[in-house]
A and B are shown apart, each in its own frame.
Chain A
Amino acid sequence: MTWYEFFLFVHITAAVIWLGGAFTFQMYGMVVRRGGDPEEIARFAGRAGSLSERVFVPASLLVILAGIALMINGNWDWDQLWVIFALVTFAASFLTGVLVLSPMAKRIPVAGPTTSVGQALIERLFTILRVDLSFSTRSSSRWSSSRGGRRLDDRNRSDHPRAVDGRVPCPTALEG
């Protein structure tokens, strides 16, 4: 196993936990909200904070750190659109979490989670999370399409046994 493969494994595993987890969190929230029990909804919203701090924030930091390690170890160019897009999306998502979602989640217990103000805050929290998730998924889409990008050691070489039109079809089934 090379360092590149190791960083890739960490990068993908962390992205899986972050984005896949956030998606399921939304689905779980939908089921709970459909139940219509305000106390259960409030309890669920309360868990959003601890889940973010213990799972999503560490996973998102691992994504960016392993991504930087991949860029350096794989000799990728920093000025490619998919790299810039991913970094900007990450920064936007991170800042949204710290500056908007976290203060909003802290206002819920103060307002009272079962009150109309608290329920409105919970509703807004889920809406922002959905928008945030959709942008993060777009970042993942850009990343999937990154195979034709420039790598300084020119790994998209035309003499590769699987090369099609001068490009290697897939370095790995999960790798971009």
Chain B
Amino acid sequence: MTSYELWLFLHISAAMVWIGGATVAQVFGVLAQRSGDPAQSAVFGRSMGFIGPKIFMPASIAVLVTGVLLTEDGNWEWSESFIWLGIVLWAAVSLVAFAFLTRAMGRVGARMAAEGPSPELGAEVRKLVLLARVLILVLFVIVFVMIVKPGT
């Protein structure tokens, strides 16, 4: 196995954990919402408050680091559109997801557990789930750009 293949394996594995995990988290969010049980929404919020910073954030950093190593090791040009587009979209998603979304999710989960259900908290959860969906869509756009490599 060459170093390039190692970076590629780590790059793909980290992307799998991040993007696949976020997709399945969405399914859990929808199931918790549909149940109408605030305790389940609280468990979901608490779990995301743990999984976001402990699993998704390290995975997203690993995606970036191994992507940089692949670019260097694979003799790719930094000016190629799929590379800078990937980095810009990665930065945008990471910023919104880790600086805002996971914290907000954990906060709402904790409030729901403490205060019980309320229309206000329910509306907030729906807004956060919708934002997460948009972010997942952007992540799949990144995957598409990495595969098709427009401009190369």
Contact = CB atoms under 8 A, between A and B. Distances in A.
Are the chains A and B members of one assembly?
yes
A36 interface: no
B150 to A, nearest CB: 9
Interface residues of B, number: 47
B76 A170 contact: yes
B143 A17 contact: no
17 contacts: A5-B147, A16-B15, A16-B20, A20-B21, A21-B20, A24-B17, A27-B21, A28-B28, A140-B16, A147-B5, A170-B4, A173-B74, A173-B76, A173-B146, A174-B12, A174-B146, A175-B147
B107 to A, nearest CB: 17
A140 B147 contact: no
A109 interface: no
Given A24-B25, A32-B43, A47-B31, A16 B19 contact: yes
Interface stretch (B44-52, B95-103, B117-125): B44-52
Interface of B: 1, 4-5, 8-9, 11-13, 15-25, 27-28, 31, 39-40, 43, 46-47, 50-51, 55, 67, 70-71, 73-76, 82-83, 86, 140, 143-144, 146-149
Contacts of A27: 21, 51, 55
A169 B71 CA distance: 10
Contacts of A85: none
Contacts of A172: 146-147, 149
B37 to A, nearest CB: 9
Interface range, A side: 35 or more
B28 A12 contact: no
Contacts of B16: 15-16, 19-20, 23, 140
B147 A9 contact: yes
A13 B143 contact: yes
A141 interface: yes
Nearest to B4: A169
A12 B24 contact: no
A18 B21 CA distance: 9
B147 A23 contact: no
A162 B74 contact: yes
A173 B9 CA distance: 10
Contacts of A128: none
Nearest to B150: A1
A80 interface: no
B148 A24 contact: no
A162 B147 contact: no
